[in-house]
């Protein structure tokens, strides 16, 4: 049997001297759990940052039209392609908050902000350096500038709001009701995010596909509602995956065996 298997097996063992209490971990087991904790943290942070970079580049390069008709009433439902991967970032920050605590979740959020600035710098640099004309690049560059500017402002408010509310509900319920803190924090922060992105994209980047013959205000509300409903549905659907991932990772990272609620911050 491998060392890893031995370490995993101890999660199920109970010290006969203290029924219901996991036995203390030896040095090798603690080292194994520490390696896993950092590896999982890097994977989650990588998913978060990679998704963030992708959605900022795709951003508003295309709008997806899911509008439908009920009776004789047409319900507009148009979302930017950058919205598709965005709910994943909230699932990841909820996992980081649950497993690693508020401080480390906020660290990833700050790195995400720096990543946004890095994307903008590369796009700017690619446009000012001499080279061949590339209409496709400059069109993407213009759209990405608008999307990144909008998302950076909304991102700060929404992600910090998500992390703060997650821990507010966690403390209020004394660690119970994972579904409540997952959904309550995400649904509120998504209102902030969606409203800010739509308004900034329109008033700063002028990049929304609006119909000049219709009232601008009602069209902005349509975009906000469509974006929020999409994110809300995805947020509600990720509740079961969150439960499954938290249960698996708590055991895999040795949190249950060590009696810890979350991974200690590295010193």
5, part of any domain:
no
110, part of any domain:
yes
51, part of any domain:
yes
This prediction has a pTM of 0.69
Contacts of 22-29 spanning 24+ positions with Cβ under 8 A? 22/256, 22/257, 22/258, 22/259, 25/254, 25/257, 25/258, 28/3, 29/254, 29/257
Helices (H), ranges, the chain: 3-9, 27-58, 86-100, 102-128, 135-172, 178-200, 216-237, 239-252, 255-258
160, part of any domain:
yes
125, part of any domain:
yes
Q: Do strands 63-65 and 78-80 pair parallel, antiparallel, or not at all (unpaired)?
A: antiparallel
Q: Which residues of the chain have pLDDT under 70?
A: 1-25, 60, 146-148, 150-151, 155, 159, 204-205, 256-262, 264-267
| Residue 117, token pair as written in the block | 């600035």
21, part of any domain:
no
Cβ atoms of residues 237 and 12 within 8 Å: no
Number of domains in the chain: 1
267, part of any domain:
no
| Residue 253, token pair as written in the block | 């990272």
The residues, ordered by sequence, that sit 6+ positions from 16 with a Cβ below 8 Å of its Cβ are none
210, part of any domain:
yes
pLDDT digits (tens, 9 = 90+) for 54-92: 877 777 677 888 888 887 778 888 888 877 887 788 789
Q: Which domain does 180 fall in, by range?
A: 27-258
How big is the chain, counted in residues? 267
């Amino acid at each position: 049997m491998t060392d890893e298997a031995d370490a995993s097996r101890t999660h199920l063992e109970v010290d006969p001297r203290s029924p219901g209490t996991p036995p203390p971990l030896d040095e090798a087991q603690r080292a194994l759990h520490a390696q896993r904790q950092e590896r999982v943290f890097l994977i989650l942070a990588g998913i978060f940052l990679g998704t963030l970079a992708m959605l900022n580049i795709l951003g508003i390069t295309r709008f997806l039209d899911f509008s439908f008709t009920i009776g004789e009433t047409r319900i507009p439902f148009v979302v930017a392609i950058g919205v598709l991967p965005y709910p994943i970032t909230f699932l990841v920050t909820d996992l980081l908050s649950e497993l690693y605590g508020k401080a480390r979740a906020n660290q990833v959020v700050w790195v995400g902000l720096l990543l946004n600035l890095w994307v903008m710098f590369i796009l700017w640099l690619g446009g000012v350096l001499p080279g061949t004309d590339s209409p496709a690049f400059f069109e993407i560059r213009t759209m990405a500038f608008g999307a990144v500017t909008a998302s950076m402002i909304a991102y700060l408010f929404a992600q910090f709001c998500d992390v703060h509310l997650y821990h507010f509900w966690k403390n209020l319920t004394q660690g119970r009701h994972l579904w409540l803190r997952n959904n309550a924090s995400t649904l509120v922060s998504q209102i902030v995010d969606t409203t800010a992105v739509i308004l900034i994209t329109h008033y700063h980047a002028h990049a929304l596909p609006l119909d000049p013959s219709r009232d601008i205000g009602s069209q902005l509300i349509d975009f906000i509602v469509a974006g929020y409903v999409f994110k809300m549905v995805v947020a509600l659907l990720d509740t079961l995956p969150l439960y499954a991932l938290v249960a698996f990772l708590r055991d895999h990272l040795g949190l249950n065996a060590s009696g810890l609620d979350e991974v200690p911050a590295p010193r």
